[in-house]
Amino acid sequence: MRYLKPYQQDFPYTVGHGDLTLHLDEEGSADILEPISALLAQRGSGTLRRGISGCMSGVRSRLFVKTVELESLPSRLRVTLGRQRRIGGYDWPIAELMNSVDAWRQGAPVPRLRGFGYRRQGLFPVRELFLISDMLDEHVDGRFWLTQPQMQIEAFLQGAFALIRELYEKQVCHLDLWAGNIMLDPQRLDAMKVVDLENCYIGHPPYWSEALGFQFAFLFLRLVQNHIDEARYDNLVYAALDQYPGIDRVNFERVYSLCKHQQISRKKRRDLLLTGNLQLRG
């Protein structure tokens, strides 16, 4: 997959077994090949579902492995040949791979990608992709944290808002920033990290105010709204906005007030930060 060369440079260590190839950051990570191969063999016998993510341990390494099966032939062909989708952008797992590397290079609070891989039989198209990153031990995700009796919603939100702010400073705009994609160490709520970077814009998006309006709204819409009333959430958001002096409050508000109550598709989120327009219908 030649088009991934600029990314492959970070992963110069290549290992393989059967139809599986892994490109890894260092020789020390290569011990992950065996447990992944064992998992695939087990799955072959039909006992495990496809597309899994979780912690895997080699003799020395402990890594988080996410696998994505490419279901359709067009998707397999695009990923193999490095083509983009008709609506623009790479297929999600390729976008996630690229965004993860780019975000890390910009110093964003994300787990480091340690390698990637794919399954491909001979010259047939790639069937499945693997993303391998640092395992965030001591962390839980925000979805889980919100169910815990000791959770305090405002402390959680201060941490999450600090995360949005840090991503802003590092110029990483995450368009799927809900509690399930936020990782936190319960002992250190001020140092959260974000995962699942498939739908991200890396760099300074043309419409940051609208993008921020979407991010704060989306966090509320998925889960957080069950834990805090809306007026209180608004107050916390408006206080947090004081740290963004260049923000256009009118455009922020337009998107924020709409998206707090309405799901918008991944494509529309992307259009929003590129054009500033939010097409809710059609």
Ligand X SMILES: Nc1ncnc2c1ncn2[C@@H]1O[C@H](COP(=O)(O)OP(=O)(O)O)[C@@H](O)[C@H]1O
Contact positions vs ligand X (CB under 6 A):
53, 64, 66, 111, 133-136, 141, 180-181, 195-196
Q: 197 or 237, CB closer to ligand X?
A: 197
Q: How close are the terminal C-alpha atoms of the chain, in Å?
A: 36
Between the CA of residue 103 and those of 99, 106, 162, 166, 196, what are the distances in Å?
6, 5, 17, 12, 11
- Shortest Cβ 56–ligand X spacing (Å): 11
- Shortest Cβ 169–ligand X spacing (Å): 22
What burial letters (b/e) apply to 104-130, b meaning 16+ CB within 10 Å? beeebbbbebbbbbbbbeeeebbbbbb
100 binds Mg ion (CB under 5 A): no
96 binds Mg ion (CB under 5 A): no
- Shortest Cβ 16–Mg ion spacing (Å): 28
181 binds Mg ion (CB under 5 A): yes
- Scanning 51-59, 106-114, 140-148, 181-189 for contacts with Mg ion by CB under 5 A, the matching segment is 181-189
- Shortest Cβ 20–ligand X spacing (Å): 20
User: Which one, of 160, 120, 124, 167, lies nearest residue 142 by Cα?
Assistant: 160
Per partner kind, with CB cut-offs from 5 to 8 A, the member of Mg ion, ligand X, none near residue 136 is: ligand X
User: Which one, of 168, 266, 253, lies nearest residue 217 by Cα?
Assistant: 253
133 binds Mg ion (CB under 5 A): no
User: Which one, of 252, 244, 248, lies nearest residue 214 by Cα?
Assistant: 252
Per-residue x/- track, 196-225, Mg ion (CB under 5 A): x-----------------------------
Q: 224 or 240, CB closer to Mg ion?
A: 224
Contact at 8 Å (CB) between 109 and 163? yes
Q: Which residues of the chain form contacts with Mg ion (CB under 5 A)? A: 181, 196
